[in-house]
Chain A
Amino acid sequence: MKVLVPVKRVIDYNVKVRVKPDQSGVDLANVKMSMDPFDEIAVEEAVRLKEKGSATEIVVVSIGPSQAQETIRTALAMGADRGILIQHDAVVEPLAVAKLLKGVVAEEQPGLVVMGKQAIDDDNNATGQMLAALLDWPQATFASKVELTGEGANVTREVDGGLQTLSVKLPAIVTTDLRLNEPRYASLPNIMKAKKKPIDVKSPADYGVDPTPRHTVLKVTEPAKRQAGIKVESAADLVMKLRNEAGVL
Chain B
Amino acid sequence: MAVLVVADHDNQALRDTTLKTVAAAQSLSNEIDVLVLGHGAESAAQAAAKIAGVRKVLLAEGEPLGRMIAEAVEAVIVPLMAGYDALLVPSTSAGKNFAPRVAAKLDVMQLSDVVQVVDAETFVRPIYAGNALETVRSSDAKKVITVRPTAFKAVAGEGGSAPVERLSASAEAPGTRFVNEEMVVSDRPELGAAKIVVSGGRALGSAEEFRAVIEPLADKIGAAVGASRAAVDAGYAPNDYQVGQTGKVVAPDLYIAVGISGAIQHLAGMKDSKVIVAINKDADAPIFQVADYGWVADYKTAIPALMEELGKSGK
Most buried by A among B94, B108, B275, B313: B275
Could you mark each residue 226-239 of chain A with 1 if its beta carbon is under 8 Å from any beta carbon of chain B, else 0? 10111111111011
> B306's contact among A127, A130, A238, by CB below 8 Å, is which?
A238
> B132's contact among A26, A128, A142, by CB below 8 Å, is which?
A26
Q: B298 an interface residue at 8 Å Cβ cutoff?
A: no
- In A119-141, the 8 Å CB interface with B consists of 120-134, 137-141
Interface stretch (choices B32-40, B181-189, B207-215): B181-189
* A214-B138 contact, Cβ under 8 Å, with A142-B97, A222-B132, A234-B305: yes
* A223-B133 contact, Cβ under 8 Å, with A125-B96, A137-B175, A159-B94: yes
- Asked if B305 and A235 make an inter-chain contact with CB atoms under 8 angstroms apart, the answer reads yes
* CB neighbours of B308 from chain A (8 A): 235
Q: A95 an interface residue at 8 Å Cβ cutoff?
A: yes
- Asked if B110 and A94 make an inter-chain contact with CB atoms under 8 angstroms apart, the answer reads yes
Instruction: State the CA gap A239–B178 with chains docked (Å).
Output: 47
- In A175-213, the 8 Å CB interface with B consists of 177-179, 213
How many residues belonging to B are interface residues under a CB distance threshold of 8 Å? Answer: 92
> A168's contact among B100, B104, B176, by CB below 8 Å, is which?
B176
State the majority secondary structure of interface residues on A. mixed
* CB neighbours of B178 from chain A (8 A): 164-167
> B254's contact among A163, A226, A230, A248, by CB below 8 Å, is which?
A248
* CB neighbours of B276 from chain A (8 A): 226, 229
How many residues belonging to A are interface residues under a CB distance threshold of 8 Å? Answer: 82
Distance between B289 CB and nearest chain A CB, rounded to angstroms: 5
Instruction: State the CA gap A35–B50 with chains docked (Å).
Output: 47
* CB neighbours of B291 from chain A (8 A): 228-229
Q: A72 an interface residue at 8 Å Cβ cutoff?
A: no
- Asked if A19 and B100 make an inter-chain contact with CB atoms under 8 angstroms apart, the answer reads no
- Asked if B97 and A172 make an inter-chain contact with CB atoms under 8 angstroms apart, the answer reads no
- Asked if B135 and A219 make an inter-chain contact with CB atoms under 8 angstroms apart, the answer reads yes
* A11-B176 contact, Cβ under 8 Å, with A214-B138, A215-B137, A217-B134: no
- Asked if B254 and A242 make an inter-chain contact with CB atoms under 8 angstroms apart, the answer reads yes
- Asked if B294 and A138 make an inter-chain contact with CB atoms under 8 angstroms apart, the answer reads no
Closest to B139 in A: A214
- Asked if A161 and B183 make an inter-chain contact with CB atoms under 8 angstroms apart, the answer reads yes
Closest to B305 in A: A235
Could you mark each residue 147-174 of chain B with 1 if its beta carbon is under 8 Å from any beta carbon of chain A, else 0? 0000000000000000000000000011
- Asked if B265 and A13 make an inter-chain contact with CB atoms under 8 angstroms apart, the answer reads yes
Distance between B222 CB and nearest chain A CB, rounded to angstroms: 10
Q: A81 an interface residue at 8 Å Cβ cutoff?
A: no
Closest to B304 in A: A235
- In A140-179, the 8 Å CB interface with B consists of 140-142, 144, 154, 157-169, 172, 177-179
Instruction: State the CA gap A178–B229 with chains docked (Å).
Output: 9
Most buried by A among B107, B126, B221, B309: B309
- What would 6 A/B residue contacts be, using CB atoms closer than 8 Å? A95-B107, A130-B104, A134-B104, A140-B176, A218-B136, A248-B275
